[in-house]
Amino acid sequence: MQALANFNIPVVFPEYEAATIHASVNIGRTSPSEISEISLTGPAPISHLRIQGAINAMDQARVEQILISTAARFAMLETTVTSGVRGTIRCYSESPQGGFAAGARICAGDIVVDFFAGRKPTPRFPAFVEHICAELRRVFVERIMVVKI
């Protein structure tokens, strides 16, 4: 005999603010229990920041310096050379195998700083994003536009 149980579990992840895990579990006597479906809903994490009208060399240098100092603080690897993204200013990754990453690029007259949580986000990712966001907000104040996916 098998049964399907559905669960909605409220959770809090720093990068999601608040969320709910929706899980469907098959429960049976002859076979082990298994999760057949799981999804996460809630406010989305920051996908990227856009610094409006930041195509001059001074703005690019400021963004680059923030990324360099944050990457050093979090012991990130520079991956700028392997970035295939057009207009890349700087890119960093958590490890050679991937992990979380961030990079800055020029896009349509703005500088865009992208964040990628990776396949298995680590507890360091929210702190990394928050540090970069705080530094960019301090420097660029009203020109910052936060985009959540």
- 3-state class (DSSP) for residue 139: helix
User: For residue 19, what is the domain's CATH number?
Assistant: 2.10.70
CA distance 46 to 130: 10
Query: Each residue of 52-69: pLDDT tens digit?
Result: 887 789 999 999 999 999
Across the chain, mean pLDDT equals: 76
User: Domain of 32?
Assistant: 2-41
Same domain, yes or no, for 107 and 76? yes
Instruction: Output the pLDDT for position 68.
Output: 96
Residue 73, pLDDT > 80, answer yes
Structure token pair of residue 92: 């960093």
State the pTM of this model.
0.66
The count of domains in the chain is: 2
Do residues 90 and 125 share a domain? yes
Same domain, 66 and 126: yes
Any idea what the CATH number is for the domain that residue 136 is in?
3.30.160.110
Same domain, 63 and 31: no
User: Which residues have a Cβ under 8 Å from the Cβ of 56 and sit 6 or more positions away?
Assistant: none
Regarding whether 55 and 9 lie in a shared domain, the answer is no
- The CA-atom distances, in angstroms, between 3 and each of 23, 26, 30 are 14, 6, 12
Q: Grade residue 42 by pLDDT with cuts at 50, 70 and 90.
A: very low
Task: Identify whether residues 62 and 133 lie together within a single domain.
Answer: yes
Secondary structure class of 19 (helix, strand, coil): strand
